[in-house]
Amino acid sequence: MNIVVCIKQVPATTEVKINPETNTLVREGVESIINPFDMYAIEEGLRIKEKVGGIVTVLTMGPPQAETALKEAISLGCDEAVLVSDRAFAGSDTLATAYTLARSIKKIDDFDLIICGKQAIDGDTAQVGPGISEELNIPCVTYVKKIEKIEDDKICVERMMEEGYAVIQLPIPCLITVVKEINEPRLPSLRGMMKAKKAQITILNAADIAAENNRIGQVGSPTLVSKIFAPPFKGEGEMILGDVGEQVEKLVNKLKETKVI
C-alpha cells in the first residue's frame, strides 16, 4: 500500500499574529511544529503500513525550513519525504495549495491512500484535504475516526458525525482526513531520529510538478481576506453560589437587573 500523508508546518502557538497589511500569518520568531491534527494522519499511515505493508511518503508545501517537519515525520517512521517549495507558491490559498499538492502527488506516482489531518490549527479551514481529492478526481471522506477494514481495492471507515458515526466504504485510491479520536500518535525513536538526521528530502519546484502558472501562488488564489480581527473579549463569567434556593433567588434578581425578565 502506497500511502501519502500531507502535513503542514504551523506556528507552535494558539496566539497567532496577523500581518495587518497582507492579512497573512506572521511566522517570524515563532517555533514551528507539525500541525497537531497531521500527527494523527502520520500515525494512521504508519499503522496501516505496519499492518498491510507498503511505504509512507510524507508531503508538505512550504518554505525550505519546512524540511524540519518532514524530518520529524521520518523520525516517527515515515519512509520518504517530499518538500514542495518554490517562491512561485508564496501566497497560496487553500485552492492553490490543494492544486499544488495534487500535482505533487501525481508526480510521486502510484498512490493508494492519501491521509490528511482534519484541518490546520492556524488557518482552521479544513479545505485542503477535500481540495486535493477534487483535483485528483478521487473520493474523499472527512472526519474519519476509525479505519474498520482496509483491503487492496477498498477501505471501510467510520466518519464522525455530530451524533454517532457513519460507516462508509470507498474504493482505493481515495483520500481521508482524520480526527484526533482515531489514534494516539507515537513519539519518535532514537533510531528514527538518527535516520531523520541523514535523510534526503526530495524537493520539488513549480516546474518539477508541471504546475500551471495561473493556478499557483497569489495568482492562483481567488480567496480575498478582506479583514481579520480578534473577536471582542467576553467578560468573565460570574459563579452563582449557595444552596439551590439562594442560587435561584440570585439568578432571578440578576435576570431582572439586566431586564432579561
From 101-109, 181-189, 199-207, 213-221, give the range in contact with other proteins by CB under 8 A.
181-189
Q: Which one of residues 189, 218, 223, 253 is an interface residue with other proteins (CB under 8 A)?
A: 189
Q: Counting contacts by CB under 8 A, is residue 188 touching other proteins?
A: yes
- Determine if 187 is a binding residue for other proteins (CB under 8 A): yes
Q: Which of 29, 190, 232, 260 binds other proteins (CB under 8 A)?
A: 190
CA–CA distances in Å: residue 86 to residues 19, 182, 204: 22, 33, 8
Q: Which stretch binds other proteins (CB under 8 A): 64-72, 80-88, 131-139, 186-194?
A: 186-194
* Residue nearer to other proteins on the CB measure, 189 or 223: 189
Q: How many other CB atoms are there within 10 angstroms of residue 212's CB atom? A: 11
> 180, 186, 195, 250: which one contacts other proteins (CB under 8 A)?
186
> Smaller CB distance to other proteins: residue 51 or 191?
191
Is the dihedral angle over the CA atoms 238, 244, 245, 251 positive or is it negative?
positive
- Distance, CA of 208 to CA of 97 (rounded, Å): 16
Residue 197 sits in the site that holds other proteins (CB under 8 A): yes
Position 254 contacts other proteins (CB under 8 A): no
DSSP string, 191-221: HHHHHHHHPPPEEE-TTTTT--GGGSTTTT-
Alpha-carbon separation of residue 150 from 51, 153, 160, 218 (angstroms): 10, 8, 18, 39
In the complex, minimum distance from the CB of residue 36 to other proteins, in angstroms, rounded to a whole number: 13
Size of the site for other proteins (CB under 8 A): 9
Q: Whose Cβ is closer to other proteins: residue 190's or residue 230's?
A: 190
12 binds other proteins (CB under 8 A): no
Nearest-approach distance from CB 192 to other proteins, in angstroms: 8
Provide the β-strand partners of residue 84. Answer: 61, 204
Does position 255 interact with other proteins (CB under 8 A)? The reply is no
- d(CA 115, CA 140) in angstroms, rounded, equals 10
State the nearest-atom distance from the C-beta of 82 to other proteins, in Å: 24
Kindly give the residue spans of alpha helices, DSSP state H, lying in the chain: 36-52, 67-76, 94-108, 128-136, 190-198, 244-257
Nearest Cα to Cα of residue 131 among 92, 161, 166, 85: 92
Sites of contact with other proteins (CB under 8 A)? 186-191, 193-194, 197
